């Protein structure tokens, strides 16, 4: 054992983070050792707070600290337009475009026959329940532009169109096969503005 | 505010880490949100533990959890050869070469007239005290191969050689202007083996 056990343990925990290898973990660990006590402990508390207080929004399944998320709780948002995404992490990039002013519904994944993920594994029933109880005039299908996302969008379009609700899909412009999470604001903003009715 | 305040705060804390920008912070934050409770809290506790239990070794100023560090506490190490480094983070790369079996002395920086760092700001007095009280036959100066490191090595060589102790410096082979912390094992191992008497 080269380093103190506490440092060794910190290195192991840091390496579990996505995109963090041994060298970045070492750089972070020494930074945490060197930095003042409060800065380091603030990071630790932020992690604890997120795990203790964040759960799913009871309406849209985004992450929330209250019963509903920040977006569902904002009465200024247009409740008549509902954007369907796969994961909570897909919401911030759409918000950053400042093009969309409606509300969201998080599916919690995408249809994938390969991985055995069917409609019952996603929040599809909850979506249909919202569409019958809320006054929604348009559903924007903003699932990822890859096979699973397209399959999910096609499946939802078939379910929702008979309800007399306009169903749209993000316009092309997104690189196909990519991840919505990492799209830049301009591309994603244009894709939102040029969304096509299905 | 797009995200829940706890998530916003976590993002800010993660972005303070070295090498972590907004996109990596977001990736880490969503990973922490998604992962099981224990995995996330283990990282938080590892940070707290390091800040609560790690301090400087009373003998060599490496990081330690006991009174002395893991290396000073290991009686199998050769106490007659002492490797002087700038920072605790310089020790793990030297240990990984498996070429050095002696003990260390951490200066806590390097001489830098530009930044007003003189010998009194480093653990130089403590080094001289060790050299007079311990039986040291060789001091390896392993400061970084840059201006401050070379200046520090030259200064220490002038102080130590009159004591009748062999003073060596890491051999060339290290890329000049680089950081010892990021050297690969083979290059650093060769530099240790081919160290030159000053």
User: What pTM was computed for the model?
Assistant: 0.79
Q: What is the pLDDT of residue B191?
A: 75
Longest dimension (CA), chain A: 67
Contacts of A2 in chain B (CB under 8 A): 70-71, 91-92, 95-96
Rounded to an integer, the average pLDDT of A29-48 is 95
Rounded to the nearest 10°, the torsion over CA A89, A95, A101, A106 is 0
**Where would I find the beta strands (DSSP E) of chain B?**
55-56, 63-64, 81-85, 103-106, 138-141, 166-169, 196-197
pLDDT digits (tens, 9 = 90+) for B67-79: 999 999 999 999 9
Nearest chain B residue (CA) to A23? B182
pLDDT greater than 70 at residue A185: yes
Q: What is the pLDDT of residue B174?
A: 66
Kindly indicate the confidence band of residue A84, based on its pLDDT and cuts at 50, 70 and 90.
very high
Count of beta carbons in the 10 Å neighbourhood of residue A20? 23
Q: What is the pLDDT of residue B98?
A: 87
Between chains, do A41 and B50 touch, taking CB under 8 Å as contact? Answer: no
Q: What is the pLDDT of residue B111?
A: 96
Q: What is the pLDDT of residue A170?
A: 81
ipTM above 0.85, yes or no: no
**Where would I find the beta strands (DSSP E) of chain A?**
55-56, 63-64, 81-85, 103-106, 138-141, 166-169, 196-197
Nearest to A6 among B4, B9, B65 (CB): B65
Count of beta carbons in the 10 Å neighbourhood of residue A76? 5
Between chains, do A49 and B10 touch, taking CB under 8 Å as contact? Answer: yes
Q: What is the pLDDT of residue B173?
A: 65
Rounded to the nearest 10°, the torsion over CA A101, A102, A107, A111 is -80
pLDDT greater than 60 at residue A111: yes
Between chains, do A44 and B39 touch, taking CB under 8 Å as contact? Answer: no
Average pLDDT, chain A: 91
Closest CA to B157 of B190, B124, B112, B134: B124
**Residue A103 dihedral angles phi and psi, to the nearest 5°:** -115, 175
Tokens linked to B108:
């806590």
Question: Which residues of chain B are under the pLDDT cut of 50?
Answer: 1
Nearest to B4 among A3, A27, A70 (CB): A70
> How far from chain centre, in Å, is Cα B195?
19
Instruction: Tell me which long-range contacts B91-94 makes (C-beta under 8 A, separation of at least 24).
Output: B91/A2, B91/A3, B91/B62, B92/A2, B92/A3, B92/A26, B93/B180, B93/B181, B93/B182, B93/B183, B93/B185, B93/B188, B94/B142, B94/B188, B94/B192
Within 13 Å and on the Cβ side, how many CA atoms surround B114?
4
Q: What is the pLDDT of residue A174?
A: 66
Between chains, do A31 and B49 touch, taking CB under 8 Å as contact? Answer: no
What gap in Å lies between CA B148 and CA B177, rounded to an integer? Answer: 10
Tokens linked to B114:
């530009």
Q: What is the pLDDT of residue A55?
A: 95
Q: What is the pLDDT of residue B175?
A: 67
- Please name the residue that has the structure tokens 């099981």: B36
B65-101: b (≥16 Cβ within 10 Å) or e = beebbbbbeeeebeeebbbbbbbbbbbbbbbebeebe
CB B166 within 8 A of CB B157: no
Nearest to B4 among A14, A28, A63 (CB): A63
Tokens linked to A119:
């409609």
Q: What is the pLDDT of residue A166?
A: 94
Rounded to an integer, the average pLDDT of A48-59 is 96
DSSP state of B175: P
Of the residues B1, B5, B6, the best mutation for testing chain A's interface (the one with the most A CB atoms within 10 Å of its CB) is B6
What gap in Å lies between CA B185 and CA B165, rounded to an integer? Answer: 27
pLDDT digits (tens, 9 = 90+) for A161-177: 999 999 998 876 666 67
């Amino acid at each position: 054992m080269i380093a103190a056990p506490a440092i060794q343990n910190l290195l192991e925990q840091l390496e579990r983070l996505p995109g963090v290898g041994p060298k970045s973990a070492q750089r972070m660990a020494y930074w945490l050792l060197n930095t003042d006590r409060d800065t380091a402990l603030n990071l630790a508390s932020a992690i604890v707070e997120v795990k203790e207080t964040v759960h799913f929004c009871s309406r849209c399944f985004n992450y929330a600290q209250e019963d509903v998320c920040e977006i569902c709780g904002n009465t200024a948002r247009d409740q008549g337009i509902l954007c369907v995404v796969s994961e909570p992490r897909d919401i911030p990039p759409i918000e950053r475009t400042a093009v969309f002013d409606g509300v969201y519904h998080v599916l919690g994944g995408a249809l994938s026959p390969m991985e055995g993920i069917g409609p019952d594994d996603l929040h599809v029933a909850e979506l249909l329940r919202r569409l019958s109880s809320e006054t929604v005039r348009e559903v924007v299908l903003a699932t990822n532009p890859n096979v699973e996302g397209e399959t999910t969008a096609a499946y939802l379009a078939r379910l929702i169109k008979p309800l007399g609700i306009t169903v749209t899909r993000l316009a092309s412009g997104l690189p196909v096969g990519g991840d919505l999470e990492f799209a830049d604001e301009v591309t994603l903003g244009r894709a939102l503005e040029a969304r096509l009715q299905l």
